[in-house]
Structure 1
Amino acid sequence: MLEAVSSHFATVSQTLCPVPADQRPINEYRDLQGSWFFGWSMWPLPRFQRRLALLWGMAGVVSGPLAIASMTSQAAPAKVAVAGVLGANLFVLLVVVRLILGWLYVGDRLQRPTVIYEETGWYDGQEWPKPEAELAQDRLIYTYELRPILQRLRVTLIILLLFSVSLIGLWGWL
């Protein structure tokens, strides 16, 4: 019974809502959830960390030889190693920044009381105020599902930045 009422209200909301389905914040959130790239952020922490470590290793396979090729033969081997590690770390840092930006965009759209959308192209932007029930639902999703993802990504970003700064300091010390 409750499912029938819920689906009825969802149908009414969808028929009254002029926003195209792919531009609705809840659908944008679901798209990111199902995305192979953005979905990593929702994985359990150990699995997420393994994925970042795998990315770091793959980037190291590229940045290591680049560091070797770009340094003179008189450069200290330690400096070459630090350059390779820093290059790999910067790649992972860029990936994390991209994850944060994607989730922040959807989070902003979930929290706003209005939905800005385009009917047919960039030149005919419209704004639709969300009904109270939809706004409350979107804000709950942001608070309990999206905010923890953003928190994890921010902590990861800070750790990567601190590691990069320490590598730069090590470079100067060598």
Structure 2
Amino acid sequence: MFAPKNVCPVPFDQQPLNEYLALKKSCFFAWSILSLKKYINTVIYIFILALTFIMPIVWVLSYNKMALWYVFLYSIVYVDLILILLFTRLYLGWSYIVKRLLSATVFYEESGWYDGQIWIKTVDILTKDRLIGLYEINPYIARIKYSLFLCIFVFLLECIVLYLI
């Protein structure tokens, strides 16, 4: 996967393909590229886990010791907010990588922020990077985007319901 130095002057960690492989192996981003069933199960697991931690906090912080179903509704709102932040981070991370893979040029830093360079990809590397970006990463980005929109919709719906109650 590593391009030789005479073909690619970009440092190993800053090559888009290697950034993709590192992101794919990271604990935070790896679950977002699982199969659809495992992905949904993981989201449900995160939701339940966050709810078990948030619900006691909302109960303790409620000044007038509101009813349990109010505590439950407010806890779900906070958990949805956490999921929105989580999906936003996933979306930003994967979209950064796909942007670098699809781009014909790569900006890189040799030793610091003051000496950045731009490398123009060869046709072979550009083709391989674009195939990976379009056919491997874009479906996951679309799934994360739909999950984010669904969480935002549910969050707004919950806020309206809490306002009306």
**When the two structures are superposed, what TM-score results if normalisation uses the length of structure 2?**
0.92
**Are 2:84 and 2:148, in contact at CA under 8 Å, matched by a contact in 1?**
yes
Q: Which residue of structure 1 aligns with residue 157 of structure 2?
A: 166
Q: Which residue of structure 2 aligns with residue 88 of structure 1?
A: 79
Q: Confirm or deny that 1:146 pairs with 2:137.
A: yes
Task: Provide structure 2 residue ranges, at least 5 long, that are not aligned to the other structure.
Answer: none
Summarize deviations over 1:89-123 as a string: whole Å, max 9, x none: 11122111111111011011011111100001111
Equivalent residues in 2 for 1:1-16, closer than 5 Å:
13-16=4-7
2:69 aligns with one of 62, 66, 78 = 78
Q: Confirm or deny that 1:113 pairs with 2:110.
A: no
Summarize deviations over 1:65-106 as a string: whole Å, max 9, x none: 121122232634432221111111111221111111110110
Equivalent residues in 2 for 1:10-25, closer than 5 Å:
13-25=4-16
Q: Confirm or deny that 1:56 pairs with 2:47.
A: yes
Summarize deviations over 1:16-70 as a string: whole Å, max 9, x none: 2110011000111111111222111110111111111111112112211121122
Alignment length, in residue pairs? 165
Summarize deviations over 1:119-153 as a string: whole Å, max 9, x none: 01111111111111211111111110010010100
Q: Secondary structure at the match of 1:128?
A: strand
Q: Which residue of structure 2 aligns with residue 34 of structure 1?
A: 25
Q: Which residue of structure 1 aligns with residue 37 of structure 2?
A: 46
Q: Which has the larger radius of gyration?
A: 1
**Are 2:19 and 2:97, in contact at CA under 8 Å, matched by a contact in 1?**
yes
Q: Over the residues paired in the alignment, what is the CA RMSD in angstroms?
A: 1.7
* Partner Cα distance (1:123, 1:57) in 2: 46
**When the two structures are superposed, what TM-score results if normalisation uses the length of structure 1?**
0.88
Q: Which residue of structure 1 aligns with residue 113 of structure 2?
A: 122
Task: Provide structure 1 residue ranges, at least 5 long, that are not aligned to the other structure.
Answer: 1-6
Q: Secondary structure at the match of 2:117?
A: strand
Q: Which residue of structure 1 aligns with residue 88 of structure 2?
A: 97
**Are 2:16 and 2:101, in contact at CA under 8 Å, matched by a contact in 1?**
yes
Letter in 2 for 1:36: C
Q: Secondary structure at the match of 1:16?
A: coil
Letter in 1 for 2:56: P
